[in-house]
Amino acid sequence: MHKPAKVTIEDVAAAAGVSRQTVSRVINNGPNVKPAVRQRVEAMVEQLGYVPNLSARRMGGARSYLILSINDRARTFENWTSGRGNDWVDQMLYGGMSECERHNYHMVLELIDTDAGTTIPQIARAVGSLRPDGVILTPPHCDNLELVDWLERQGIPCARVGHYEGGNFVDVYMDDEGAMREVTRHLLELGHRSIGFLAGPLNYGPSQKRRKAFREALAEAGIPPEAGPIGAGNFYFDMAVSVLETMLAAPSPPTAIIADNDKMAFAALHVAADLGLKVPDDLSVISFEDTPGVRFSVPPLTAIRQPTAAMIGKACAQLIALSKGEEGMGAFELPYEFVVRATTKAPRG
């Protein structure tokens, strides 16, 4: 197990008969290199299998080629049981890594204990040691004002995913209002006249938008507010179960349920089974998330598919552009998709 000698920029320079700096120019795609020289250097890079050392690059004052993604520990699988976990992460990873890879960047993930109140020290530590070119904030961190302020003061470009508008940031999101309108209208057109909404937390931006659009779509169709009950206020399975039990026990219960995430939609499937209601004949169910496994549920869930991977990918792309000195700040809305599977149908009778 002997370490093979690692080839450095000097080795390439010597082999190509040029200086260190010229090789540097070539690998960074810099201007002012004669085509012939560039080619000769590239050949040597290839031949020697040279790969620039990221640490040295960083030391030399260049970019770090690192994008840091900050994630909430509470939302990992560790907390699936309690219902707080989700599986965004898979999609995030895919979207982020794919984009990073394209630019020879790397994505480093950090788990932060939001609840412990040590968010900023934890992030300071990661940012201080890694010195990333950009930071990606996912919920709930993207709404943490103190944190966002701190990052801004550090001068590190920052992207928020699932956050709307604001400041000198990259903000990436989808059209939550439009999606809710589409979903509600779909149900209305099917003939539903009473629709329940299992809503997410009040302080979660996208959920706010969806609540608003839900109410508006109902009002627009002349449905009275009491025929559009809103429940929950978090994303947990258990909570959704008990809210549903109440909702469906009402005198004229909803014939359709819109859930703010998959887990609550699954809760609807469970409660329906317990109550002997057939989905979609007796109860229609729509989810707002569409994590990959959803398509394999029985019956397969109709859902709004959040462009999670694309959002993280976009966030990375913008941060990378920024690190190259290009323009990048701004707000970006990505298209969602309404995937009609097997849990929506006209109500009985």
Partner DNA sequence: AAGCCAATTGAGAGCGTTCACAAAATATGT
Partner DNA sequence: ACATATTTTGTGAACGCTCTCAATTGGCTT
Q: Helix crossing, 9-16 with 20-27: angle to 10°?
A: 110
- Among 29, 32, 129, 252, contact with its own copies (rule: CB under 8 A): 129
Site for its own copies in 94-123 (CB under 8 A): 94, 97-98, 101, 104, 106-111
Half-sphere exposure (CA, 13 Å, Cβ side) for 79?
A: 13
Considering CB under 8 A, how many residues would be counted as binding its own copies?
68
Q: Give the integer Cα–Cα distance in Å for 131 and 125.
A: 10
Q: Helix crossing, 262-275 with 237-248: angle to 10°?
A: 50
Residue with Cβ nearer DNA (117 or 153): 153
147, 137 contact by CB (below 8 A): yes
Residue with Cβ nearer DNA (104 or 118): 104
Residue with Cβ nearer its own copies (183 or 269): 269
Q: What residue type is 83 in one-letter code?
A: G
Site for DNA in 18-77 (CB under 7 A): 18-22, 24-25, 27-28, 31-34, 37, 50, 52-53, 56-57, 59-62
Q: Determine, following the binding rule CB under 8 A, whether residue 297 of this chain makes contact with its own copies.
A: yes
Nearest to 268 by CA among 304, 307, 231, 228: 231
* Helix, coil or strand: residue 10: helix
Whole-angstrom CA distances from 238 to 200, 251, 265, 268 are 13, 23, 11, 11
Q: Determine, following the binding rule CB under 8 A, whether residue 299 of this chain makes contact with its own copies.
A: yes
Residues that bind DNA (CB under 7 A): 6, 8-10, 17-22, 24-25, 27-28, 31-34, 37, 50, 52-53, 56-57, 59-62
Residues that bind its own copies (CB under 8 A): 1-4, 6, 49, 51-56, 58-59, 64-65, 73, 76-78, 80-81, 85, 87, 89-91, 93-94, 97-98, 101, 104, 106-111, 124-126, 128-131, 152-155, 168, 237, 262-263, 266-267, 269-270, 273, 291-293, 295-299, 309
